Amino acid sequence: MIIYLERQPLTVRDGITVAAAVTVTRTSCTGQPRAAFCGMGICQECRMTIDGRRQLACQTLCREGMQVERSV
């Protein structure tokens, strides 16, 4: 399956979450790179723009052609 991270194609296995596919999910307000931290929808570190909507990467399954962008 192919998803697009910052418009670049990324091949991922079926059934995995977006958080499992990306290493850095956002840049913090002081410019630090962040990644999924709690893995269960609490900490919001993995919030990303997925198909135009802000969603949690750890609770979103990859879908063919999905557009994923890091959030600031």
Partner 1 sequence: MNQACDILIVGSGPAGLAAARAASRTGLHITVIDDNPRAGGQIWRNGPDTQLEPAVVERLAVLEQPSIRYLPGTRVVAALKPGSLLLENAEHGFVMVYQRLILCCGARELLLPFPGWTLPGVTGAGALQALVKNGLSIHSERTVIAGSGPLLLASAATAREAGARVENVLEQASARSVTGFAAQLWRWPTKIRQALDLATTAYRWNSHVVEALGEQRLEAVRIKVGSRLKEIPCERLACGFGLVPNTTLAAHLGCELQGTAIAVDSLQCTNLPDVYAAGECTGIGGSELALVEGEIAGLAASGQHQEIKALLARRNHWQAFADRVRQTFTLNPAIHSLARPDTLLCRCEDVPFAAMACETSWTAAKLQTRCGMGACQGRVCGTAAQTLFGWDAPLPRSPLVPARISTLL
**Which residues in this chain contact partner 1 in the complex, by CB under 8 A?**
12-17, 19-21, 23-24, 28-30, 32-45, 47, 53-55, 58-61
Q: Give me 13's structure tokens.
A: 């296995």
Query: Nearer Cβ to partner 1, position 4 or 51?
Result: 51
H-run or E-run covering 19: helix 18-21
Q: What are the C-alpha distances in Å from 18 to residues 12, 26, 28, 30?
A: 9, 13, 19, 24
Query: Nearer Cβ to partner 1, position 8 or 30?
Result: 30
Query: Nearer Cβ to partner 1, position 5 or 58?
Result: 58
Q: How far is the CB of 60 from partner 1 (least distance, A)?
A: 7
